[in-house]
């Protein structure tokens, strides 16, 4: 039998909290009809109630102490919208211990402490859901856990960070360099004042850890994931990518390797025909290859009050339906394995290499010989027109080759006198 | 408490039945770990057990009478993989009456008899799931019913028929006419010997009826949906579309109109920058606009044994999880409304018009005047180079205008002597 009312407590009333509460209250009738119970926002906890927000709640819903949620036995579901780790971890674990289902879009929290928190949820026989943690409003966690639960997932490649995709898109469309575009993005609010988490790939690393954990049924130590950001991508690389038929994207990759997971975050050349190449601006997309489902892509807005609010409310509705059926914990965590992560040296992919060299005959021959001696074979060599003085550039695209071999070849190339600089090393995927 | 084993009966062992059974048996250990019970294919019913199949089952699983499923109290879940309407409707309703959960990817059955069958499921307190009915392996039904349950969906635009998308893609890439490409598609097995259901838009019509019904919470009479196929699309239209920056796609549209639903299936010009324009070959995609989630797209393989098998097995796992929690019927049908469908005359969109006219001065002026008098304003007029003798062609793209006005203008144009023929009328969307 459905309850007449299911009560929600919200902890943190910033962008995400506001997005979720506004949606729950604005579409309350529609949601009630879908759940079979009214979903009521009973308590919202935040320290600051004076500041201006796009939407706010009645005085009787406003609290400043988390106890207002934990100690209220009528609250069934808690939305964690604090962000960060310390306070959020306490809030989520306390809520679970108080036998309340929890919804959080906090990717760092789930990537780092998901196992511990999912255990608490299981012990308390409640739900812990986190659809908003990856891809904002894009339904991806639920499809992975439910729709694709029978498939053998082979590979996940995601554009899962909107800030870096916005920056790379602007660099591609406007031919400008990273620093300039970042400054603009900061001015427009698309990048944080401290952009490290986005531009150095940490955010994408948390997200691929979560997706890979679900897809491959394994625990993942997020600290072991290789991650490289986009701060070294230059206008020159973007220009050459275009000329060669690629776009540069920050990819988060999680694939089955040889008995180990191939898990990494780095910028990559993506061929223009690939569905991911047409994901522009702040949009996110997750490309999934499974057996027998084949290729899938999930595309949408990866952040923001509205999209993340949508994901949080979808989870709240799921929790509420479980409560009404006494079915909390219906889709438990099944990440029992402990698959190793392939060391970066063992990863096999293609490479784009941009080298600055002395402008003299025989350079290509010398360099190609060294590459060949290290087992690096080439699909194309490209010598762009000079645009400045003092040397030439040569661009190389390799066949699929082990990372260790390329790194060894690059060390050898640096030692010969015709090579001034290895200016860029960017992987080629897709 | 999870059961040790959950038993499945399969009715119909063609492409879809084989895909589902092969996946359930091949990945049995993985699925058992996810469900908490072994999911066992106990009975498979088919009339022909002699014919060659890509995968088959043991003799003790082979039956020819549906009674083997209905009368076996150990069978919890039934997969309907017969196809068509008559036998499938009987099989599904009998299984539901016997209190077995049912999974079917049968779009025609769900579009035409979904309401009646979902009522039976509700009365029996079991599940009726049909993820495979739209978009093959693409998770779209579950995201719509669960992840987006709180959103207000504004518009759904789908490329939901792989056969027509294959034909249009080949026409676009190879510059050939419909008839030739259809013959090739039939030879390759991408089109049926009788291609009517695909090329005339019936298949897409069933699918948009299902999606719109879920998105807008309404009953839909599938017979009231306007549908127009791709048989009249010519190589010339495709060529002009390209020149103007569009691709022609068969779209299934379901949008909120003014107090009525805007529901229709027809070919349309889609601008090259739109995510749907890059969906090629047999791939399907569903583009969804919701508030507050924004734009989403779900992309993947829309048909075939593997993808549809994946969708069916995802549903079987969902049913099994519900059985283990006593939570069958957890996400019931909520299509209670009876929203009217907007008459086609009232639909507002843009149009591409291709006209054959006398090659003499003043023609554009006369025609533009008539269009203007009927309230049809223009964004561009384009006179292609002649490629044959005996007249000229003029291509017109309109602003957004009501269908009725365009039709009236076209009737008036046909009556003037400089116009030989209204060669094509194709809507412009996106």
* CB < 8 Å to A322, chain B: 327, 330
* CB < 8 Å to B157, chain A: none
Residues of chain A with pLDDT under 50: none
- Report pLDDT digits (tens) over B37-71: 999 999 999 999 999 999 999 999 999 999 999 99
Is the Cβ of B77 closer than 8 Å to some Cβ of chain A? no
pLDDT at position A395, please? 96
- Comparing CB atoms, the residue among B143, B296, B301 nearest residue A142 is B143
Angle, CA of B275, B277 and B280, to the nearest 5°:
110
Residue B334's alpha-carbon distances to A97, A352, B86, B215, B317, in angstroms, are 34, 53, 25, 10, 22
pLDDT at position A363, please? 94
Is the Cβ of B301 closer than 8 Å to some Cβ of chain A? yes
CATH 3.30.70.260 given to domain B344-428:
yes
From B80's Cα to the closest Cα of chain A, the distance in A is 18
As given in the structure block, the two tokens for residue B207 are: 């699918």
Same fold across B5-137+305-325 and B141-300 = no
pLDDT at position B336, please? 87
Is the Cβ of A310 closer than 8 Å to some Cβ of chain B? yes
* CB < 8 Å to B36, chain A: 332
Interface of B with A in 170-229 (CB under 8 A): 217
- Report pLDDT digits (tens) over B86-111: 999 999 999 999 999 999 999 999 99
For residues B398-411, b (16+ Cβ closer than 10 Å) or e, as one string?
beebebbbbebbbe
pLDDT at position B2, please? 86
With cut-offs at 50, 70 and 90, classify the pLDDT of residue B386. Answer: low
- Comparing CB atoms, the residue among A150, A299, A310 nearest residue B314 is A150
Cβ distance B148 to B216 under 8 Å? Answer: no
Give Cα A172 distance to the centre of its chain. Answer: 21
> What residue in A sits closest to B273 (Cα-Cα)?
A278
CATH code that applies to domain A345-428: 3.30.70.260
Domain ranges of chain B: 5-137+305-325, 141-300, 344-428
Is the Cβ of B19 closer than 8 Å to some Cβ of chain A? yes
List of E strands, B318-373: 348-357
- Comparing CB atoms, the residue among A283, A299, A326 nearest residue B326 is A326
CATH code that applies to domain B5-137+305-325: 3.40.50.720
Cβ distance A320 to A76 under 8 Å? Answer: yes
Is the Cβ of B137 closer than 8 Å to some Cβ of chain A? yes
- B207 is a catalytic site residue: yes
Query: What percent of chain B stands above pLDDT 90?
Result: 93
Number of Cβ pairs < 8 A linking chain A and chain B: 209
Interchain CB distance below 8 Å, A292 and B23 = yes
- Sequence-distant (6+) residues with CB within 8 A of A390 are none
Residue tagged active-site, from B42, B100, B112, B207 = B207
pLDDT at position B41, please? 98
pLDDT at position A258, please? 78
Interchain CB distance below 8 Å, A306 and B294 = yes
Residue B389 has pLDDT above 60, yes or no: no
Cβ distance B77 to B64 under 8 Å? Answer: no
Is the Cβ of B398 closer than 8 Å to some Cβ of chain A? no
Interchain CB distance below 8 Å, B217 and A148 = no
- Comparing CB atoms, the residue among A19, A306, A318 nearest residue B146 is A318
Q: Quickly name the fold that domain B141-300 has.
A: Dihydrodipicolinate Reductase; domain 2 (3.30.360)
Interchain CB distance below 8 Å, B310 and A301 = no
Q: Are strands A283-291 and A246-256 parallel, antiparallel or unpaired?
A: unpaired
- Report pLDDT digits (tens) over B208-260: 999 999 999 999 999 999 999 999 999 999 999 999 999 999 999 999 987 89
- Sequence-distant (6+) residues with CB within 8 A of A346 are A257, A260, A402, A403, A404
As given in the structure block, the two tokens for residue A22 are: 């506004």
Mean pLDDT score of chain B? 96
Is the Cβ of A34 closer than 8 Å to some Cβ of chain B? yes
């Amino acid at each position: 039998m459905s309850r007449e009312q299911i009560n929600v407590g919200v902890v943190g009333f910033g962008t995400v909290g506001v997005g979720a509460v506004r949606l729950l209250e604005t579409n309350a009738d529609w949601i009630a009809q879908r759940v079979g119970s009214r979903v009521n926002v009973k308590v919202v906890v935040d320290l600051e109630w004076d500041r201006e927000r796009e939407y706010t709640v009645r005085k009787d819903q406003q609290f400043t102490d988390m106890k207002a949620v934990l100690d209220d036995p009528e609250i069934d579901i808690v939305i964690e919208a604090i962000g960060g780790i310390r306070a959020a971890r306490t809030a989520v674990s306390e809520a679970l211990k108080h036998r309340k289902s929890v919804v959080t879009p906090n990717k760092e929290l789930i990537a780092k402490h998901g196992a511990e928190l999912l255990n608490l949820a299981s012990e308390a026989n409640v739900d812990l859901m986190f659809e908003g943690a990856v891809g904002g409003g894009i339904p991806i966690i639920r499809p992975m856990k439910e729709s694709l639960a029978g498939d053998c997932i082979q590979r996940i490649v995601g554009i899962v960070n909107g800030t870096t995709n916005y920056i790379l898109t602007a660099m591609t469309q406007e031919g400008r360099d990273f620093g300039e575009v970042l400054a603009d993005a900061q001015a427009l609010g698309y990048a944080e004042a401290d952009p490290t988490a986005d531009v150095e790939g940490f955010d994408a690393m948390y997200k691929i850890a979560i997706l890979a954990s679900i897809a491959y049924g394994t625990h993942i130590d997020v600290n072991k994931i290789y991650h490289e950001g986009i701060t070294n991508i230059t206008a020159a690389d973007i220009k050459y990518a275009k000329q060669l038929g690629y776009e540069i994207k920050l990819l988060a990759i999680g694939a089955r390797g040889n008995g180990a997971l191939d898990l990494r975050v780095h910028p990559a050349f993506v061929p223009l025909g690939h569905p991911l190449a047409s994901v522009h601006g702040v949009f996110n997309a997750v490309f999934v290859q499974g057996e027998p489902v084949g290729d899938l892509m999930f595309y949408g807005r990866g952040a923001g009050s509205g999209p993340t609010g949508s994901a949080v409310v979808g989870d709240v509705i799921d929790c509420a339906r479980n409560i009404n059926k006494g079915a909390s914990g219906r889709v438990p965590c099944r990440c029992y394995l402990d698959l190793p992560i392939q060391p970066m040296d063992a990863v096999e992919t293609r490479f784009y290499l941009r080298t600055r060299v002395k402008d003299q005959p025989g350079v290509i021959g010398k360099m190609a010989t060294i590459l060949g001696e290290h087992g690096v074979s080439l699909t194309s060599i490209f010598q762009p027109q000079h645009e400045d003085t003092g040397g030439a550039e040569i661009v190389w695209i390799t066949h699929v080759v082990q990372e260790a071999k390329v790194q060894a070849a690059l060390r050898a190339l640096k030692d010969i006198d015709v090579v001034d600089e290895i200016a860029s090393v960017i992987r080629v995927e897709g």
